[in-house]
Amino acid sequence: MELTKWNNAKNAIAECKTIDEVKAIRDKAEALRQYAKQAKESLLVQNDIAEIKLRAERRVGEMLKGEELAKNQYAGNMMSLAKIGIEKHESSRWQKEADIPEDVFEEHVKEVKNKNIELTQAGLLKIHKDLEKEKRNIKLKSIKTDIPKGLYDVIYADPPSQYEHLVDPTRDIENHYITDDIKSICDLKFPIHDNAILFLWVPPSLIASGLKVCEAWGFSYRTHIIWDKEIIGMGYFTRAQHELLFIARKGNINAPLPENRISSIYREKRTNHSKKPEYFYKLIEKCYPREKYLELYARNKYSDKWDVWGNEV
């Protein structure tokens, strides 16, 4: 199809009544974009086609969301996405594109074209991520997050650390909760006893950061437990299947009694994003039954034995 025929595509997208009609336009635009790229057409030509593709994706995203989904011909059919050739990750991304306000989208398209850089889906997902982060930051400022008072002997923490790279935008932890930079985590102040123990969750790629946190909080690293999640995850050099629970000490707090010293590897299948097994609460309580517990960056309250601090409790 000649490129000039795509000049009316914006109106055609708006006039579509069903998802598969819009998706057909999107798929044709993507095929044409790939052809233009291979034929080494100018970036301006490629971006004109990419714009139509993204507009179609935004429209499909709108139609997949909320009340419009109930109105289209595929409503109530759990196999509807498969029937019209939409993968689950595509649905997720296109709905994120649709969430971007119209004025923000139009400004982004204009800016990209003026700068003569490539117009991509990744660019829109980055905008969506930034907008969601801004919303969450505003919400978090309204939540009281005072550190509990008192001296604690046992600290259990799962900091929401930022990753340097992102393999897949749909797996980005910013989609699940707000992250914090290493400096802010290190600067966190909380009341601890002169003799205390720290249990700190550290992803394999952030070991160096984990050691910095231990030191900044006044603890000396001693050892760690490996949680084998039994399900392979994401990664660049390797795909992570495990996470580390650092054990660090401050002062002269005792090690667990010999009968409470468990294997350094624990296996349990992971469930929800970042959710840790209850096994570790029970382990900590068994090893330090009379101490005072504080969980930092908590997303739930395990029991009344624990004081918690976090934005999601």
User: pLDDT per residue over 100-125, tens digit each?
Assistant: 999 999 999 999 999 999 999 999 99
Give the pLDDT score at 259: 93
pLDDT band at residue 79, thresholds of 50, 70 and 90?
very low
Q: Where are the domains of the chain?
A: 3-138, 152-309
- The pLDDT value recorded for residue 266 is 96
Most confident of 77-86, 129-138, 275-284: 275-284
Question: Given the structure tokens 């992803």, which residue do they identify?
Answer: 203
Q: Higher confidence at residue 115 or residue 144? A: 115
Per-residue pLDDT band at 154 (split at 50, 70, 90): very high
Residue 96 tokens read as: 């994120």
Contact 188, 286 (CB under 8 A): no
pLDDT category, 169, cuts 50, 70, 90? Answer: very low
HSE (side-chain half, CA atoms, 13 Å) at 249: 11
Q: What is the pLDDT of residue 96?
A: 94
- Residues 151, 152, 157, CA angle at the centre, nearest 5°? 135
Q: How confident is the model at residue 195 (pLDDT cuts 50, 70, 90)?
A: very high
Q: Which pLDDT score is estimated for 311?
A: 59
Count the Cβ atoms, other than its own, within 10 Å of residue 27. 14
Tell me the pTM. Answer: 0.59
| Residues in CB range of 179: below 8 A, 6 or more apart | 160, 161, 162, 173
Helices marked H in the chain: 9-15, 19-38, 43-64, 66-71, 80-83, 88-99, 102-115, 121-141, 182-186, 207-216, 279-287
Average pLDDT rounded to a whole number, residues 138-157:
76
pLDDT at 177 over 70: no
Across the range 178-192, mean pLDDT stands at: 81
Structure tokens that stand for 141 in this block:
């400022």
The structural architecture, per CATH, of the domain 152-309 is 3-Layer(aba) Sandwich (3.40)
State how far the Cα of 243 lies from the Cα of 273, in Å rounded to an integer: 13
**Do the Cβ atoms of 90 and 55 come closer than 8 Å?**
no
- Residue 155 DSSP SS3: strand
Q: How far is CA 268 from its chain centroid?
A: 22
CB-count exposure of residue 84 (10 Å: 0-12, 13-18, 19+): middle
Q: What three-state secondary structure class fits 197?
A: strand
Share of the chain above pLDDT 70, in %: 82
